[in-house]
Structure 1
Amino acid sequence: MDGPRITLTLAPSLRHFAAAGRRGAAVPVATDGTASLGHVVESFGVPLTEVGRLLVNGREVAPSHVPEAGDAVDVLPVTRPQRVPGAPLRFLLDIHLGTLARRLRLLGVDAAWETPDPGDAALAARSAAERRVLLSRDRGLLRRRELWAGAHVDHTRPDEQVREVLDRFAPPLAPWTRCTACNGELREADKESVRDRLEGGTSRTYDVFAECPDCGRVYWRGAHHARLEAIVDEAVRGVSGGSFGQAGPVSER
């Protein structure tokens, strides 16, 4: 672009998206005179999924606004907790966020994830069809226009990713109510009805079970329960006003 020049100021929480030399305040940016402000911001490195408001000379404008020479643009982040209107809060995660998907399911959050990788086009289409917020670390994926809603996951460690998602969206939590393998909703199971799916030691040691009607997986409070309970407890403490279910069984597999 080599047209009208504007100045672009990213909010501090958005500056890590820009190239190292463009993270200060009031950075000069050349436009072509026809590109929308949304296009300019994304070209600068910031996915529009991360933008809450765009101000031009102090006035809020839409991403479709075409900036003019001399405009001072402020790019503000989404407010937290971010509200997603029009549908129950549900997520869709890309192939690289499998561990985060299982952690969210452990907390009772509806988190769709599939393998093998369905590809960017299929993920964007599913986000739109099912009205799911797509979580990804891929900026290109988050720029696809067919997305219903999306959010960039900044962190790489699963513990930090969970905190990041809970802080941004504050979803209602219902720990131990979803299958961590397929995202199905768990139901109580009589021991006799699942005995043929249990190993001998498990059958002799445990009496309380749950099962996933979608994939048939059986859950109980096994050897890994203490570790998983610590993950749940940390999440519950960090979210205020959540709707938490009763602690139930969890498989040791």
Structure 2
Amino acid sequence: MNGPEIRVEFAPELLLFVPRARRSGATPAAVDGVSTLGHVVESLGVPLTEVGSLVVDGRTVPPGHIPTAGESVTVRPVDRPQRVPGAPLRFLLDVHLGTLARRLRLLGVDTAYESSDIGDPALAARSAAERRVLLSRDRGLLRRRELWAGAFVYSTRPDDQLHDVLHRFAPDLRPWTRCTACNGLLRAATKDEVADQLESGTQRSYDVFAQCTECGRAYWRGAHHEQLEAIVNRYVP
């Protein structure tokens, strides 16, 4: 490698983002006297959404720090639970995380979700406009500058995804209060109010209903309730 260099070492939690050649101890990275340390870290594969702090020669610096030759950098992960300042904790999920979205809504977490691919610029813009934490497995999306806040979803398994998001952000949980279809709030409803959505067997078997205040969808303790209740019980005593 030619030109001035710094040495960068990543915390073990961040090594999955880093090329294998850079996963063993501190490795050299070129600097140009203009690019920020945040840019250098992202060029090595780690989205800044996953970085908790940057330590240069023993002192913490912001991502806008301009590194100079010879500096030693330690890249640390975010602290857990991660605090998101400036807004109530709300999420926005990309098109690949539909099951996670429904499970977060089941637990009463305010979760917007795009069921179609609206494109990275639109997702990042919505995150900023609504001040929502964008959850995605797309590293490129998480590097967009207009993003308000974001987090990488580390697993492809919905159970693990849910556990990781809850462990990372520790949101308030209010199970059975949100529509799993549209994220609207639920209210108690009479059988007559939702009768047009019920089959005859359901009308005979159930008397307690809820209805979404946004899309009007009806809910009751149907065939899948035990499975959903098992998910809730893992996180809410």
Question: Is 1:182–1:215's contact at 8 Å kept on the other side of the alignment?
Answer: yes
Percentage of matched positions with identical amino acids? 70
**Structure 2: how far apart are the matches of 1:206 and 1:17?**
50
- State the partner residue of 1:248: none
- State the partner residue of 2:133: 133
Q: Where do 5+ consecutive residues of structure 1 fail to align? A: 238-253
User: 1:84 is aligned with what amino acid?
Assistant: V
- State the partner residue of 1:163: 163
**Structure 1: how far apart are the matches of 2:24 and 2:128?**
35
CA apart distance, 1:9: 0.6
- State the partner residue of 2:234: 234
User: 2:235 is aligned with what amino acid?
Assistant: A
- State the partner residue of 2:183: 183
Deviating beyond 3 angstroms after TM superposition, the runs of 4 or more aligned structure 1 residues are: none
CA apart distance, 1:192: 1.1
* Backbone CA RMSD of aligned residues: 1.0
- State the partner residue of 2:57: 57
Aligned with 1:95: secondary structure? Answer: coil
- State the partner residue of 1:193: 193
CA apart distance, 1:235: 2.3
Aligned with 2:182: secondary structure? Answer: coil
**Structure 2: how far apart are the matches of 1:236 and 1:10?**
35
**Structure 2: how far apart are the matches of 1:193 and 1:106?**
22
- State the partner residue of 1:6: 6
**Structure 2: how far apart are the matches of 1:19 and 1:235?**
35
**Structure 1: how far apart are the matches of 2:217 and 2:15?**
44
**Structure 2: how far apart are the matches of 1:41 and 1:182?**
37
- State the partner residue of 1:246: none
Give yes or no for the alignment of 1:92 onto 2:105: no
> Taking structure 2 as the reference length, what is the TM-score of the superposition?
0.98
CA apart distance, 1:236: 2.3
How many pairs align?
237
User: 1:130 is aligned with what amino acid?
Assistant: E
Q: Where do 5+ consecutive residues of structure 2 fail to align? A: none
User: 2:209 is aligned with what amino acid?
Assistant: F
Greater Cα offset, 116-125 or 162-171: 116-125
User: 2:124 is aligned with what amino acid?
Assistant: A
> Taking structure 1 as the reference length, what is the TM-score of the superposition?
0.92
- State the partner residue of 1:243: none
CA apart distance, 1:2: 4.4
